[in-house]
Amino acid sequence: MFPIPVASSENALALPMAAVFSEQGERFVFVKKDDRFERRPVQIGVADYDYAEVLNGVTEGKSSR
């Protein structure tokens, strides 16, 4: 059986779903800053079992704050 794609996104920043956490309805990731990790809220777009599109919260290579 093969999955049928229902949505896709091109040229999007994607994170492994294993790196995206949820707590009380908020999604967040941990970003390394110097020698520690900071919790950053993110907004997720299209997602599947493996990856999630990041709409807001972090950018490639650096944080957006």
- Bigger pLDDT: 1 vs 61: 61
* Separation between Cα atoms, residue 65 and residue 56, nearest integer Å: 10
Identify the structural domains of the chain with CATH numbers, from first to last. Answer: 14-63 (2.40.420.20)
Q: How does residue 10 score in pLDDT terms, banded at 50, 70 and 90? A: low
* Separation between Cα atoms, residue 6 and residue 27, nearest integer Å: 22
* Separation between Cα atoms, residue 29 and residue 59, nearest integer Å: 12
pLDDT, tens only, 13-62: 889 999 999 999 999 999 998 999 999 999 999 888 889 999 999 888 76
* Separation between Cα atoms, residue 35 and residue 7, nearest integer Å: 38
Evaluate if pTM is beyond 0.85. Answer: no
